C-alpha cells in the first residue's frame, strides 16, 4: 500500500476504535444509571474540565469551531469523570446534528442565585417541541429522516440526564435562534 493509503487506513482504524470505546463506555454508564447510580462528589473547576473536553473534541473534529464563554472561574461539587461524559455526549451530539458546511458550537457557563448553568448550543436541525422530553429516554432517537441517517444508539442523552439527576441538577432544551438547539445543564451551587 502507498503511504497515503496506510495513513488513511490507520486514521479510520483509530476513529473506529474511539467510536467503539465510546459505545462501551456509554453502555457501562447506562447500566450503572439503571442500577442505583451513586456519585462521589468533589470540588472541581468546571472551566478547566470544559477546556480539557474542548481539546479532546478538537483533536477528533479539527474542522469544528468551538467557542467557550464564561463570566469567571466556577468551582462546582461534581464527579469529574461523570461530568466529562456529560460534556462529551453533548458536544458529540451538537457536532453530529449541526449543519454540514460550518459547525459552530458554543459553550457557556453562567451562575444565577441557585445554579451554575452550563449550556451547549449548536447550529443544527433543532428538536421539535413534542420530542424535547422524549430525547432523554433510553434508546430514543428523533423520528425524522434528517436524524435517522446519523449514527447513534439513543443512549447519549439518556446517560446525560441520569448523570445530571445524580448531581441533583436539571437539564432542559431550548430552541436556538435562528436554528439549532441549546442544552442547559443546571448544577446546584456549592
Mean pLDDT value of segment 159-173: 92
The verdict on residue 123 lying in a domain is yes
The verdict on residue 157 lying in a domain is yes
The verdict on residue 67 lying in a domain is yes
Mean pLDDT value of segment 117-126: 90
How many angstroms separate the CA atoms of 155 and 6, rounded?
33
Residue 117 confidence (pLDDT) above 90: yes
Q: Compute the mean pLDDT over every residue in the chain, rounded to the nearest whole number.
A: 85
pLDDT (0 to 100) of residue 144: 53
The verdict on residue 121 lying in a domain is yes
Domain extent at residue 95: 39-188
The closest alpha carbon to 82, from 184, 176, 182, 161, belongs to: 161
Greater pLDDT, 71 or 70: 70
**Non-local CB neighbours of 69 within 8 Å, separated by 6+ positions:** 106, 107, 108, 109
Residue 100 confidence (pLDDT) above 70: no
Q: How are beta strands 65-70 and 104-111 bridged, if at all?
A: parallel
Mean pLDDT value of segment 100-114: 87
The verdict on residue 7 lying in a domain is no
pLDDT (0 to 100) of residue 11: 82
pLDDT (0 to 100) of residue 123: 87
The verdict on residue 117 lying in a domain is yes
Q: Judge if the upstream peptide bond of residue 178 is cis by omega within 30 degrees of 0.
A: yes
**CATH assignment of the domain containing 58:** 3.30.565.10
For residue range 15-69, list pLDDT tens digits in order: 788 778 777 877 777 777 777 777 888 999 999 999 999 999 998 888 899 999 9
Greater pLDDT, 113 or 22: 113
pLDDT (0 to 100) of residue 150: 56
The verdict on residue 34 lying in a domain is no
pLDDT (0 to 100) of residue 155: 82
Share of the chain above pLDDT 70, in %: 92
Q: Radius of gyration (Cα) for the chain, nearest Å?
A: 17
Number of domain units in the chain: 1
pLDDT (0 to 100) of residue 128: 80
The verdict on residue 15 lying in a domain is no
How many angstroms separate the CA atoms of 104 and 67, rounded?
8
**Non-local CB neighbours of 162 within 8 Å, separated by 6+ positions:** 29, 30, 33, 37
Amino acid at each position: 500500500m502507498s503511504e497515503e493509503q496506510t495513513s488513511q487506513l490507520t486514521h479510520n482504524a483509530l476513529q473506529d476504535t474511539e467510536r467503539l470505546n465510546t459505545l462501551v463506555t456509554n453502555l457501562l454508564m447506562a447500566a450503572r444509571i439503571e442500577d442505583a447510580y451513586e456519585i462521589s462528589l468533589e470540588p472541581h473547576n468546571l472551566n478547566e474540565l470544559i477546556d480539557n473536553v474542548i481539546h479532546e473534541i478538537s483533536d477528533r473534529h479539527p474542522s469544528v469551531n468551538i467557542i467557550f464563554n464564561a463570566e469567571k472561574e466556577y468551582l462546582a461539587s461534581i464527579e469529574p469523570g461523570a461530568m466529562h461524559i456529560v460534556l462529551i455526549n453533548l458536544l458529540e451530539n451538537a457536532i453530529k446534528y449541526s449543519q454540514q458546511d460550518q459547525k459552530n458550537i458554543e459553550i457557556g457557563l453562567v451562575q444565577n442565585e441557585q445554579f451554575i448553568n452550563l449550556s451547549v448550543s449548536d447550529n443544527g436541525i433543532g428538536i421539535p417541541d413534542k420530542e424535547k422530553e422524549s430525547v432523554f429516554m433510553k434508546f430514543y432517537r428523533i423520528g425524522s429522516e434528517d436524524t435517522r441517517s446519523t449514527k447513534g444508539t439513543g443512549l447519549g442523552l439518556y446517560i446525560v440526564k441520569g448523570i445530571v439527576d445524580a448531581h441533583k441538577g436539571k437539564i432542559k432544551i431550548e430552541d436556538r435562534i435562528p436554528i439549532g438547539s441549546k442544552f442547559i445543564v443546571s448544577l446546584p451551587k456549592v
